[in-house]
Amino acid sequence: MCGIVGYIGNKKAEPILINGLYKLEYRGYDSAGIATIEKDAIKNIKNKGRVSDLEKTDGIENLEGTIGIAHTRWATHGKPSSINSHPHLDNSKHFAVVHNGIIENYADLKAFLEKQNYTFLSDTDTEIIPNLIHYNFVQDKKDDNFKFLRAVKNACYMLKGSYAIEVISDYFKDEMIVVRKDSPLVIGKGINENYISSDIPAILSYTKDFYLLNDNEFAKLTRENIEFFDENLVKLEKAPINISWNPLAAEKDGYEDFMLKEIYEQPRAIRETIWAHLPEISKCQMDELNFSKEYLEGLEKIYLVACGTAMHACLVAKNMLENICEIPAEVDVASEFRYRNPLINSKTLCIFVSQSGETADTIAALKLSKSKGAKTVAISNVSGSSITREADYTIYTHAGPEIAVASTKAYTSQIALLAVLTIYFAEILERNPVQVSNLKEELYCLPEKITDTLKCSNRVKSFAQKVYKEKDIFFLGRGVDYAASLEGSLKLKEISYIHSEAYASGELKHGPIALIEDGVTVVSVITTPSLVGKSISNIQEVITRGAKTFIITNQDLEGHTFDEVISIPKTSSYVSPILSIIPLQLFAYYISKEKGLDVDKPRNLAKSVTVE
Ligand code: F6R
């Protein structure tokens, strides 16, 4: 939540910062701001609304500075307004700060600073930071090359919470200080210029060489140099990593929206995710993991922990792990798991799934599992993300940068990778070879089947045009189709703002059926052969009560009448949501478009949830 970007070099900073903000806008879009060091002072321009509003704000075109910081906000403390926007300056106006995260003890620190006669303009937690820096700066009687860094470090020592911070000062016109704790921050290395960002794609068009800061690490940047320090300001050596992503992967590439582009990228995303670990003919290879047969045989339980869409991918994987590997698997929402004292020991394997690798609850759940003696595996889409640095082992999905707030290709790639992981475990355990070989076959065919499934787009669009004004839309499914329904319903509510619930079809009669009335739309996913009859009976029950029905199926449902049926290719039930979700992603997309909404940046949401 919130995006930060920074530049220090010889070019005008403003266009680089604005360009970075546009790319980070998915992280929050309540307000935006920029501060640069001009000839005689820091110039700070900020505005409520989007980056496009900031770009139109008076004076922005006059910024000439070659050092600057910028921010796009997802409001936590203080409503979206110009005054609450970042950057924030201290009372003396010599220090400017942008911040992503939450300062938990800000009320105490504000009271402390008020006693020292500091005053505050905004309702934010962030405004205490430049003032704390100023406070520590004036307390420090030493005058050396590290005075600015020391002031930031001493201020951070007083903070509790999460933060990625960039600081500039017109006392130090050729320096920028950055620090992170539990919020993401990357440093891009150029030639006589350096970049800061909350994520890699935002600055990928400027450099491919990145440094990753760990928690409580500081960096002091000049145009030519980057120095790293630990929390006690002891110097650290760091090697840059080279990122091979194509910067164009983070562009819309002719599509109207990132979400649509990402839906259509799924054949490639799945192919690359599968082929990275599952070469044809030979056994599954996961060099990143080194689990022995003895260790896997001794496992009492696997926990799959994640949030939102990633948690829905885990629900799909539970069945595979239990049936093929014969290991009990439990799925948990990270925000619940971390506070419910789960039963974990060295015979528990905990798998954490996170596209961004920055979700605060998922990272906290991982740390908890580690502390209780479990081995931890992270599944992420982002190289070097925080979760990958905490986990014992990491395996990557190869979805490429996912920019739209609503997750699509990351979800299907997560299911694909969890299927590969299931095969990897089963091959080591020598369990269920026939099922393993069938699942492998199906995985190889999936990219082509996704391409076929995408052909339903026009029919889905027509149905969306009929129902986009509705207030409630319900989803039904059994087994793995229930898992897909949960994800379809989440997609719909997050980008169309239509109220939606997904129910296990068998639960319908236990309460939810009271909500079904004449004309209400019910979406049902029916792909599990053994459950077709039962699912049809449940659909008949809602039709009888006047519902319109939209069916996604790979079964022959001849003899039954529904308002729309989308036929998808058959595949293994273990991974069928990789196909059945596609019409549902398109359904949510076209409803949102029909309503004229911003598909890629739905209200109140942000792509990576770095606060609890
Ligand atoms: C929904 C969506 C979210 C994320 C969730 C976890 O479309 O994208 O529900 O899945 O916030 O995010 P990651 O996977 O980055 O941990």
Give the pLDDT confidence of 367-400 residue by residue, as tens digits: 999 999 999 999 999 888 889 989 999 999 999 9
- Residues 394 and 503 grouped into a single domain: no
pLDDT score recorded for residue 247: 67
pLDDT score recorded for residue 25: 86
* Residue in 2, 156, 284, 307 annotated catalytic: 2
User: Is 462 part of a structural domain of the chain?
Assistant: yes
Q: H-helix or E-strand containing 447?
A: helix 433-453
User: Is 446 part of a structural domain of the chain?
Assistant: no
Greater confidence (612 vs 304) lies with 304
Distances (CA, A) of 162 to 83, 131, 182: 22, 18, 5
What is the pLDDT averaged over residues 98-105?
Answer: 93
User: Is 612 part of a structural domain of the chain?
Assistant: no
Q: In angstroms, what is the span from residue 43 Cα to ligand 1's centroid?
A: 36
- Residues 341 and 222 grouped into a single domain: no
- Residues 411 and 472 grouped into a single domain: no
Nearest CA to ligand 1 atom 9: 308
Phi (first) and psi of residue 563, to 5 degrees: -70, -35
Assess whether the C-beta atom of 362 lies below 6 angstroms from ligand 1. Answer: yes
Nearest CA to ligand 1 atom 11: 308
Domain finish residue from 233, 248, 263: 248
- Residues 21 and 65 grouped into a single domain: yes
Assess whether the C-beta atom of 609 lies below 6 angstroms from ligand 1. Answer: yes
- Residues 230 and 282 grouped into a single domain: no
CATH of the domain at 469: 3.40.50.10490
- Residues 294 and 365 grouped into a single domain: yes
pLDDT class of 606 with cuts at 50, 70, 90: confident
Task: List the beta bridge partners of residue 195.
Answer: 7, 188
* Pocket perturbation via mutation, ligand 1, pick of 263, 359, 383 by most ligand atoms within 8 A of CB: 359
Domain finish residue from 200, 231, 248: 248
Q: Is the pTM of this model over 0.85?
A: no
* Pocket perturbation via mutation, ligand 1, pick of 183, 305, 609 by most ligand atoms within 8 A of CB: 609
Q: In angstroms, what is the span from residue 204 Cα to ligand 1's centroid?
A: 22
pLDDT score recorded for residue 199: 87
User: Is 501 part of a structural domain of the chain?
Assistant: yes
pLDDT class of 513 with cuts at 50, 70, 90: confident
Give the pLDDT confidence of 151-194 residue by residue, as tens digits: 999 999 999 999 999 999 999 999 999 999 988 899 999 999 99
- Residues 280 and 323 grouped into a single domain: yes
Domain finish residue from 198, 221, 248: 248
CA-based nearest residue to 601, from 113, 24, 43:
24
Who's near 192: CB < 8 A, 6+ residues apart? Answer: 9, 10, 223, 224
Give the pLDDT confidence of 135-147 residue by residue, as tens digits: 999 999 998 999 9
Task: Give me the DSSP letters along 110-165.
Answer: HHHHHHTT----SS-STTHHHHHHHHHHHH----STTHHHHHHHHHHHH--EEEEE
Nearest CA to ligand 1 atom 3: 308
- Residues 358 and 319 grouped into a single domain: yes
What is the pLDDT averaged over residues 194-220?
Answer: 93
Give the pLDDT confidence of 218-261 residue by residue, as tens digits: 999 999 999 999 999 999 999 998 887 776 666 787 899 999 99
Q: In angstroms, what is the span from residue 452 Cα to ligand 1's centroid?
A: 26
pLDDT score recorded for residue 64: 96
Cβ atoms 127, 92 nearer than 8 A: no
pLDDT score recorded for residue 285: 84
User: Is 390 part of a structural domain of the chain?
Assistant: yes
Q: Which two tokens stand for residue 61?
A: 């075109």
Q: In angstroms, what is the span from residue 140 Cα to ligand 1's centroid?
A: 43
Cβ atoms 212, 389 nearer than 8 A: yes
Who's near 510: CB < 8 A, 6+ residues apart? Answer: none
pLDDT score recorded for residue 278: 87
User: Is 447 part of a structural domain of the chain?
Assistant: no
Q: Give the angle 404-409-415 at the CA atoms, nearest 5°.
A: 140
Q: Which two tokens stand for residue 553?
A: 């199926």
User: Is 438 part of a structural domain of the chain?
Assistant: no
pLDDT class of 531 with cuts at 50, 70, 90: very high
Give the pLDDT confidence of 444-466 residue by residue, as tens digits: 999 999 999 999 999 999 999 99
Angle, in degrees to the nearest 10, between helices 577-594 and 457-467: 50
CATH of the domain at 187: 3.60.20.10
d(CA 124, CA 439): 52
607 is catalytic: yes
- Residues 235 and 265 grouped into a single domain: no
3-state helix, strand, coil in the chain (%, to 5): 40, 25, 35
- Residues 307 and 417 grouped into a single domain: yes
Domain holding 331, by residue range, is 252-431
pLDDT score recorded for residue 281: 64
User: Is 426 part of a structural domain of the chain?
Assistant: yes
Q: In angstroms, what is the span from residue 62 Cα to ligand 1's centroid?
A: 39
- Residues 32 and 103 grouped into a single domain: yes
- Residues 14 and 120 grouped into a single domain: yes
d(CA 119, CA 66): 30
d(CA 127, CA 83): 10
2 is catalytic: yes
CA-based nearest residue to 407, from 149, 581, 165, 156:
581
What is the pLDDT averaged over residues 532-541?
Answer: 91
pLDDT score recorded for residue 259: 96
Provide, rounded to the nearest whole percent, the portion of the chain with pLDDT above 90. 82
Residue 278: CB atoms within 10 A of its CB come to 22
The letter for the amino acid at 230 is D
Strands 521-526 and 472-477: parallel
* Number of residues that make up the chain: 612
- What mean pLDDT, rounded, does the chain reach? 94
| CB-based burial label for 239 (10 Å; 0-12, 13-18, 19+) | exposed
Assess whether the C-beta atom of 608 lies below 6 angstroms from ligand 1. Answer: yes
Q: Which two tokens stand for residue 479?
A: 């087994």
Cβ atoms 176, 149 nearer than 8 A: no
Domain count, the chain: 3
Give the pLDDT confidence of 453-504 residue by residue, as tens digits: 999 999 999 999 999 999 999 999 999 999 999 999 999 999 999 999 999 9
Query: Is a pLDDT exceeding 70 seen at residue 539?
Result: yes
Who's near 52: CB < 8 A, 6+ residues apart? Answer: none
Query: Is a pLDDT exceeding 90 seen at residue 268?
Result: yes
